[in-house]
Amino acid sequence: MKAFLRKYWRVITSPSRYYSLGFLTLGGFTMGIIFWGGFNTAMEFTNTETFCVSCHENIYDELQQTIHFTNRSGVRAICSSCHVPHDWTDKIARKMQASKEVWAWVTGSISTPEKFEARRLALAQHEWARLKANDSLECRNCHEFSYMDFTRQSPRAVNMHSTALASGDKTCIDCHKGIAHRLPDMSDVHGF
Amino acid sequence: MKRIAIVVVVLLGVVGASLAVGAGNQIDTLRKAAIDREPEAPAIAQVENNDIRRKRAYPMQPPTIPHKIDGYQVDLKVNRCMACHSRHRTEASQAPMVSVTHFMDRDGNFLAEISARRYFCQQCHVPQTNARPLLANDFHDIDDLLRASQSPSQQH
Whole-number mean pLDDT of chain A?
80
Q: What is the per-residue pLDDT for B132?
A: 86
Residues B27, B12: Cα–Cα separation, whole Å? 22
> Does the pLDDT value for residue A92 go beyond 60?
no
Question: Is there a contact between A186 and B89 if contact means CB atoms under 8 Å apart?
Answer: no
> Domain check: are B5 and B75 in the same one?
no
The Cα–Cα gap between B153 and A87 comes to: 78
What confidence category does residue A36 fall into, taking pLDDT thresholds of 50, 70 and 90?
low
How many distinct structural domains can be found in chain B?
A: 2
Residue A153 Cα, gap to closest chain B Cα (Å): 10
**Poorest-pLDDT segment among A105-109, A168-172, B13-17, B43-47:** B13-17
**Residues of the domain holding B54:** 45-131
**B140 among the known binding-site residues?**
no
- The whole-number pLDDT of residue B118 equals 96
pLDDT greater than 70 at residue B3: no
Question: Which residue did the predictor score with more confidence, B88 or B12?
Answer: B88
Q: How many CB atoms lie within 10 A of CB A8?
A: 9
Higher model confidence: residue B8 or residue B65? B65
More confident: A149 or A41: A149
In a domain, B111, yes or no: yes
Q: Among all residues of chain B, which has the CA nearest to that of A163? A: B92
Under the banding of pLDDT at 50, 70 and 90, the label for residue A31 is: low
Q: What is the CATH number of the domain that holds B98?
A: 1.10.1130.10
Q: SS3 for B104? A: strand
Q: How far apart are CA B56 and CA B54, in angstroms?
A: 6
Does the domain at A25-175 match CATH 1.10.3820? Answer given as yes
Q: Are residues B55 and B115 in the same domain?
A: yes
Task: Give the nearest partner residue to A178 out of B50, B51, B73, using CB atoms.
Answer: B73
Residue B103: which of B83, B82, B125, B123 has the closest Cα? B82
- What local confidence, expressed as pLDDT, does residue A67 receive? 95
Domain membership of residue B106 (yes or no) is yes
Residues of B in contact with A66 (CB under 8 A): 71
Instruction: Clarify whether residues B82 and B125 are in a common domain.
Output: yes
Binary contact (A154, B80; C-beta < 8 A): no
Among A58, A46, A77, A98, CA closest to A176 = A77
Percent of chain A with pLDDT over 90: 49
In this structure, the answer to whether residues B51 and B88 fall within a common structural domain is yes
Band (pLDDT 50/70/90 cuts) for residue B76 is: very high
pLDDT at residue number B37: 87
Q: Measured between beta carbons, which residues in chain B are less than 8 angstroms from residue A183?
A: 73, 77-78, 80
| B36 SS3 class | coil
Collect all residues of chain B within an 8 Å Cβ-Cβ radius of residue A186: 77-78, 83
Domain contains B92? yes
User: Minimal Cα–Cα distance from B118 to chain A, Å?
Assistant: 17
Query: Is residue A24 very low, low, confident or very high in pLDDT (cuts 50, 70, 90)?
Result: low
Asked if this assembly's ipTM is beyond 0.90, the reply is no
Contact A191 B83 (CB under 8 A): yes
Given a cut of 50, whether residue A86 has pLDDT beyond it is no
Q: Which of A69-78, A81-90, B114-123 has the lowest mean pLDDT?
A: A81-90
- What per-residue confidence (pLDDT) applies to A113? 86
Tens of pLDDT, residue by residue over A41-58, are 666 666 788 888 888 888
Do B29 and B80 lie in one domain? The reply is: no
User: A48-52 long-range CB contacts below 8 Å, 24 or more apart?
Assistant: A48/A78, A48/A80, A49/A78, A49/A79, A49/A80, A52/A79, A52/A80, A52/A83
Residue pLDDT, tens place only, B18-56: 544 444 455 667 777 888 888 888 889 999 999 999 999
- The yes-or-no verdict on residue A171 having pLDDT over 90 is yes
Could you say which of B67, B78, B92 has the minimum Cβ distance to residue A186?
B78
pLDDT per residue as tens digits for the range B94-135: 999 999 999 999 999 999 999 999 999 999 999 999 998 888
Q: Are residues B21 and B54 in the same domain?
A: no
**Chain A neighbors of B66, CB-CB under 8 A:** none
Q: Determine whether the annotation assigns residue A190 to a binding site.
A: no
- Mark whether B16 and B59 lie in a shared domain: no
Query: B77 vs A156: CB contact, 8 Å cut-off?
Result: no
| Residue B139 is assigned to a structural domain of this protein | no
Would the pLDDT of A73 be above 80?
yes
Alpha-carbon distances, residue A159 vs A143, B64, B89, B92 (angstroms): 17, 21, 15, 11
* Chain A residues with beta carbon closer than 8 angstroms to that of B68: 154
The answer to whether residue B119 is domain-embedded is: yes
Same domain, B68 and B18: no
Measured between CA atoms, the residue of chain B closest to residue A117 is B77
Find the Cα–Cα–Cα–Cα dihedral B7, B11, B12, B17, rounded to 10°: 140
B156 vs A20, more confident = A20
The larger pLDDT score, comparing residue A154 to residue B42, is at: A154
List chain A domain ranges: 25-175
Q: Is residue B146 part of a domain?
A: no
